[in-house]
Each structure stands twice: as structure tokens, then as C-alpha cells.
Amino acid sequence: MATYKTTLSAEAFSDPQLEAKVLAALAKDAEAYWRFAEDYLVPDAFSDPHNRQTFLALSEYHTGRAPLPELPAADPPDDLDAAIKHLVDLAQRRKAAEVVGQFWSDLGAGKPVQDVLITAIEKLSEAQQAVKELSPGQTKTLAELLVDMEARYREEYTLLQETGRPSPHPSFGKNLPTFTELTGGFAPGLWILGGQPGLGKTFLALTWLHRYVTAESDTAALWIDVQETRPLDKISLHLACIHTGKCPAIFERRKTRPEEVSEIRRKTAAALGDRVEILEATANTTVPHIRGAVRRLMARTGAKRCMVVLDYLQKFSMLGGGENLVEVRARINRALAMLTELTKVCNGPVVLISSLGKESYRRRIEDANVGDFKESGELEYQGDVGIILRWAQDERNQQKDCAVKVIDAWFVKSRLGPSAVVRLYSVRTEAKYTEADPGFIPMPAELSVDVAAEDEREEVML
């Protein structure tokens, strides 16, 4: 039987020197490494075995677990993005060349034509999917997906048996049982949390983040803060108060001794450790930067899943997240599409805090719907869970000396369970939200204003 050979060689699509240049850049810039790793770059993008091992070793280096590996002598490329895209293209061409070579070999060896064609089609599909970001979409056979399904089911079933948790995902805890019932816990997906100013969207999201990290030991969380006028340490103070059950206002108004601040700092740091990071977003912050930060955090801590909270969506879309688009809704939709992809990286919930359209303010208090999100655009379709907070009809909301505020959480959209309205009680003295009505709780005496003493002090000053 005659055999046939092709003159097409996989080695023709290799550029070890360019690989060395890219490695030099990735070694110097950790952010660039985490931005490109796994999406644009996979180990097979490097044709040289030593370069491939060096690329893998950079993960250990950038997470502080190993020293800098020996690098090939080269200077970083002038345009890293273009260099990486070229490496990706070469990798796909190498794979295609191997497939074509095997095709001619099999055909010349007398294998059935139908088998040769089926194998070639499968291998070419693998070549197309070799690099995730450049692939128009990945496909799997039903048989492959069923194997994946069974493996994930067994893993999560075993986890439930070992931990006794009500859900394979971290639950909302004993204070918010209905939230767990409605969603099955903090499932991976796009969660959108909206409400009027002053309702406590940020603080509720912080309680979620705290619960997510403390409920299990294999979780981490990244908070992206777009509030340019808010000191980042205020977020850490609120988390410390949530963890220790203290009233944040007492600390914010400096009504307690510094020793108590030291105590809540120590307790919170010991419990949360380095599994929570806060990223201060700027005009240059894009979703790829966030994705890189998530990968770096998960690699450093060994976390299997990560919660991401963005405070807040509309402002982020006007920064780097909306790229260079002009129209507001288009910028939000662009940011939303990329943030949706982020859920696949973090294997956890991506919580987007959103403002509401002004029209929702004018409607009656008992109403809420998914169209209330400001410049909602694709929010209605992309979001897996949409929750809108509204003031409940309760007299305690009008009582300034009451530490309890009553809020209704409207599940206006949920792919994880039914729609519902859940009554929440914000207990400010304990920095928590609960579904159990705590009754009337007075504000701490330290926060009351002594008008007589203030007048006396002003007279002395005069």
C-alpha cells in the first residue's frame, strides 16, 4: 500500500525567540501574566519545551510559592498584545499542520475514508478550540457533557454529605434562610442588586461577601470599588463590624477607644486572612484587569471559587469597563457582557450593585420590576438573579432613634428559583440583616446628640 507525505511541517509555525520575548514580559508584569494566562495563553502556545515549562513556572512565581525561573535571554516585545496573538495563531497553525499530516498518513495507510474524515474533523475542532478567547465557541458531544455532569454531581453530593450544608454552594446563613431557599445559595452567575440611595445596597453586599468567605474555607472574594470619594479602609471597617457584630456608626464617629478598633481588626484579620481583596477601580480598569486579579487571588489562596462584587455597575461602565463606546446603554451592555464571562473564571457569583432609573422612584412603594435597573439594557436578559431593595411600610423607618430599618427585597428575576418578596430587617447595632423581626432596638446612647452640652461648649469657646 502506497503512503503519502505532506511537506507541511508543524515546526514551520514556531518562533522560540518570540516566545522568549513574551516570557520576559510576563515575568516582569504579574498583572499581564494573570490577564493573559488561560484565555489567550495556554502551555501549548509555546512550541519550545523549556519555554512551556517556564510559562507554567511563572504561575508559582507570581503567587510567591517559588523563585523566578530561569528565563531565556530576550527583551520584552514592544507590543505584548500583538506578540501573544501571533503566538496563539502559530499554535493553532501547528495543531492544524499536525492534523493535516496525520490525515494524509491515515489516508495513505488504507484506513477507511469515513474514519479518516471523522478523525480529521474532530482534531481540527480541537485546533480551533486550542485557545479559548479566539474560538467562536466550544462544542462538546452529549456523551462528554453527561460524563462532566455525573462527575460534578458526585463531587457536590459528596461535599454535601461531608459538610451537612443545605446547598452545594455556600448558603446565606441562619439569618437569611429564605434567600438560600429561593436560590440554593450563592450559586455561580450574575447577581444584580439595586435600590434607591441610602437603602443599604453596599452594606447588604458586604454581609454577603463576609458570609461567602466565612461559610467555607475554600472561598475567596474580590471587591471592586468604584466609589472614588470613599476611602478603601471604610470597606475594611464595615467588614470588621460585620464580623464582630459591632455598630459601624460608633466607629465612624470615633465614639469608642482605639483599643476596641485594634480588637476588631485582629479578630477579622484572623478569620478572613488574605482571602479578601479590594480593588480600587480607576479610569484604566477593565474587565480583563479584574479577571487577572481574580485568577491571581485564587491561585495565591488556593480557593476553588470566588465571589466578585462590583460597586457599582453604571459608574464602572463609564470608566474602562465600557471601553470607548459613547452611548451609556451601549457601555453598560459591553461591560455586562464581559462581566458575565467572568463567572466562568471565578466559579462563583458576580454581584453587580446597580442604581435604579428615576421612574422607579415615582412609582408606589409596593412595586418593583426588572426594568427598574438604570439603563437596564441587557440586565434583563444577562442577569441570573435580580434583586431590588425597597423601603417597607413600617413605622420604624421613620423613627430616628430606632436602630432597625425594614426593607423589602424583591426577587424580580431569578433563573435559580421562584420570584418572591422577602422582608429584611437591618439591625444597625449589630451590623447584620435578618429575616426575623427583632422588634424595636434603640440606637446606642453614644450616638445621641447632647444639645445642651454642645451649646455650653460653644459658649465657652466664645
89 and 184 together in one domain: no
Single out the residue of 237, 233, 191, 234 nearest to residue 212, CA to CA.
191
Quick one: how far is CA 331 from the chain centroid? 19
| Structure confidence at residue 446 (pLDDT) | 82
Single out the residue of 197, 199, 178, 196 nearest to residue 397, CA to CA.
199
Q: In what helix (H) or strand (E) does residue 276 lie, and over which residues does it extend?
A: strand 276-280
359 pLDDT tier (thresholds 50, 70, 90) = low
Domain count, the chain: 2
User: What's the pLDDT tens digit per position in 415-453?
Assistant: 888 889 999 999 999 999 999 999 999 998 888 754 344
Q: Is residue 347 pLDDT above 60, yes or no?
A: yes
Given 139, 161, 195, the domain boundary residue is 139
Please tell me which residue, 35 or 228, carries the higher pLDDT value. Answer: 35
**Residue 148 belongs to a domain:** no
* CA separation for the pair 100, 289 (Å, rounded): 37
* CA separation for the pair 379, 357 (Å, rounded): 13
Q: Which of 24-28, 57-61, 291-295, 357-361 has the lowest mean pLDDT?
A: 357-361
- What are residue 404's DSSP bridge partners? 427
Angle (deg, nearest 10), helices 201-215 and 232-244: 60
Q: Which of 18-32, 158-172, 341-355, 427-441 has the lowest mean pLDDT?
A: 158-172
**Residue 415 belongs to a domain:** yes
* CA separation for the pair 428, 402 (Å, rounded): 9
Given 139, 159, 183, the domain boundary residue is 139
208 and 354 together in one domain: yes
For residues 307, 308, 314 and 316, what is the CA-based torsion angle, rounded to 10 degrees? 180
Q: Is residue 186 pLDDT above 80, yes or no?
A: yes
Please tell me which residue, 297 or 104, carries the higher pLDDT value. Answer: 297
> Could you give phi then psi for residue 207, rounded to 5 degrees?
-65, -35
Which grid coordinates belong to 300? 495565591
359 and 241 together in one domain: yes
| Structure confidence at residue 452 (pLDDT) | 45
**Residue 291 belongs to a domain:** yes
267 and 353 together in one domain: yes
Tell me the mean pLDDT in the region 372-399. Answer: 81
199 and 265 together in one domain: yes
1 pLDDT tier (thresholds 50, 70, 90) = very low
**Residue 160 belongs to a domain:** no
117 and 179 together in one domain: no
Q: Which domain holds residue 426?
A: 174-447
| Structure confidence at residue 404 (pLDDT) | 94
**Residue 184 belongs to a domain:** yes
* CA separation for the pair 333, 337 (Å, rounded): 6
Residue with cell 446547598: 167
% of the chain with per-residue pLDDT over 70: 81
Tell me the mean pLDDT in the region 65-74. Answer: 88
| Structure confidence at residue 175 (pLDDT) | 94
266 and 207 together in one domain: yes
Q: Which of 3-17, 119-133, 234-248, 257-271 has the lowest mean pLDDT?
A: 119-133
Q: Tell me the three state secondary structure of residue 195.
A: strand
Quote the radius of gyration of the chain (alpha carbons, Å): 27
236 and 104 together in one domain: no
CATH of residue 349's domain is 3.40.50.300
Q: Tell me the three state secondary structure of residue 66.
A: coil
**Residue 163 belongs to a domain:** no
Alpha-helix residue ranges (DSSP H) falling in 164-247: 177-183, 201-215, 232-244
* CA separation for the pair 123, 102 (Å, rounded): 10
Please tell me which residue, 212 or 336, carries the higher pLDDT value. Answer: 212
Across the chain, mean pLDDT equals 81
Q: Is residue 223 pLDDT above 90, yes or no?
A: yes
Q: In what helix (H) or strand (E) does residue 269 lie, and over which residues does it extend?
A: helix 258-272
8 Å CB contact between 321 and 286: yes
Tell me the mean pLDDT in the region 188-199. Answer: 88
Please tell me which residue, 245 or 373, carries the higher pLDDT value. Answer: 245
CATH of residue 17's domain is 1.10.860
110 and 211 together in one domain: no
Instruction: Say what the pTM is.
Output: 0.74
Given 118, 139, 160, the domain boundary residue is 139
438 and 370 together in one domain: yes
133 and 189 together in one domain: no
User: What's the pLDDT tens digit per position in 115-172?
Assistant: 666 666 656 555 554 444 444 445 667 887 888 888 888 888 887 787 777 677 888 9
Q: Is residue 65 pLDDT above 90, yes or no?
A: no
**Residue 164 belongs to a domain:** no
| Structure confidence at residue 228 (pLDDT) | 67
* CA separation for the pair 242, 206 (Å, rounded): 8
Q: Is residue 230 pLDDT above 90, yes or no?
A: no
**Residue 425 belongs to a domain:** yes
* CA separation for the pair 146, 159 (Å, rounded): 20
| Structure confidence at residue 323 (pLDDT) | 55
Single out the residue of 290, 379, 298, 384 nearest to residue 342, CA to CA.
290
370 pLDDT tier (thresholds 50, 70, 90) = low
112 and 242 together in one domain: no
